[in-house]
Every structure is written in structure tokens, then in C-alpha cells.
Amino acid sequence: MVSQAVEGHVFLAEVEQNPQPGPYADAIAAAKKAGTEYWGIWNILVFRPQAAYHLCQLSHELMHEEAPISSALRELIAVYTSSLNRCAFCMNAHAAVASHLYGDKELVWSALRDLESSPIGAKEKALLRFVRKLTLDSGSIAESDIAALKQTGWDDTSIYYAIGACALFNFYNRFVSGNGVKLVSDETFQRLGERMARVGYRREAPPKAIREARSA
């Protein structure tokens, strides 16, 4: 446990010091009361709860709801994308989520150390190579890249979710790094990663309640 969990978690002091009513304000207050660390991304999500609501709804739909590719693989895509973008917070946070979903921490980190020697399957490696190209050189993506994925056994819907997870975390990486979200302890990454693995990305009040709180 730590005595101070929220001070100076992001670059933008005015953002951090002006939380708005909503589920993230409640979560931060609970963490402060308990004296526990929490993910610093909450300090930017709490600033605009309506935006956070829609972002988390999109994230939950793309990453956690039923799809042809597992939540574990979608989280591995998030981790791999984050490693390519050198976003240490997202990489560690979602490595924890993926590790809980796979039940294998070493498998997740092996893909980051060296994808080609990782014990993950050849089909999954092909998808992650595509994710790498989409992240680092999106302008060069061609229909032939999609055709190559189909040859390895991926269908259109699976590819759609892979693209969605990759695109989402290219956004998150820039949102987190630009705002200066800091790392937390491994225990906190694991604790909150386990929660996200179980329940997903939603931690929201209904949109109407958020709007009313903001206008009050």
C-alpha cells in the first residue's frame, strides 16, 4: 500500500485537479480512502466523463465482447501494439490483462521479447506481424496483406477485430503517453489487470446521469 496514490500522475495538472462527477471520480475517491494505487489513466478519464463513457463502451465492445478471436488474443494485440509504440503504461497494464486471460504470463512476454521464437501459434504470429505493419506503416497496408491473413486461416470478422484492437491501442498509446500517465507497481498492474480480465472496460454511469452531473 502507498499513502499517496493520485498526486502528479499526469503532465496536465489542471486536468488532474478538476475531476468531474462520475464512476472514475468514485473509483479514485475509493482508492484514496483505501490508500491504494490506481491506474493514472483514470485521472484523464475523470476529466470528461461523457467522453470516457463512449471510449470505454467502444473499448469493451472491441476488446471484451464475444468475437471470433478471443479476448486474450485481442489483449495480446493491445500489448504488442503498445510495445511497438513504446507505451510502457499500456504495455504493462494490458500484459497483466492478457496474462490473466491466457493464464500464462511468460507466453505474453515472450511475444514482446521475440515474436518469431515465441511459442504462440503460427496463425497468431501472422496476425501480429500484420499488427506491426499496421502500427508502424499503416499507409502501406494493401489488399494483399488481408489476402495473406486469409491464407493463414483468418476470416473477415476476425481481421476486423484485430484491426479494431490495434487501432484502439494506437489511440490509447498516444492518449496515455501524451498526457504523461505514469507507471504503477507490478502489484497494482496485476490487481487491476485481473479485474479488467473478468469484467472488461466498463465502469460507467448512464450517459444521462453523466450529463446531468456535468451541468449541475
DSSP 11: S
E-strand spans in the chain? none
The cell for 166 is 490495434
User: In Å, what is the CA distance from 86 to each residue of 82, 99, 131?
Assistant: 6, 19, 15
Q: What span, in angstroms and rounded, lies between the C-alpha atoms of 114 and 41?
A: 28
Picking from 159, 150, 183, 6, the residue whose alpha carbon sits closest to that of residue 82 is 183
Question: Superfamily for 20-209?
Answer: AhpD-like (1.20.1290.10)
The residues spanned by each domain of the chain are: 20-209
Taking only the tens place, the pLDDT of each residue in 174-216 is: 999 999 999 999 999 999 999 999 999 998 755 565 556 556 6
Q: Give 149-160 pLDDT, tens digit per residue.
A: 999 999 999 999
With CA atoms as reference, report the closest residue to 89 among 174, 201, 199, 197. Answer: 174
Q: How many whole angstroms from its chain centre is CA 61?
A: 12
Query: What one-letter code names the amino acid at 121?
Result: G
pTM: predicted TM-score of the whole model, two decimal places? 0.92
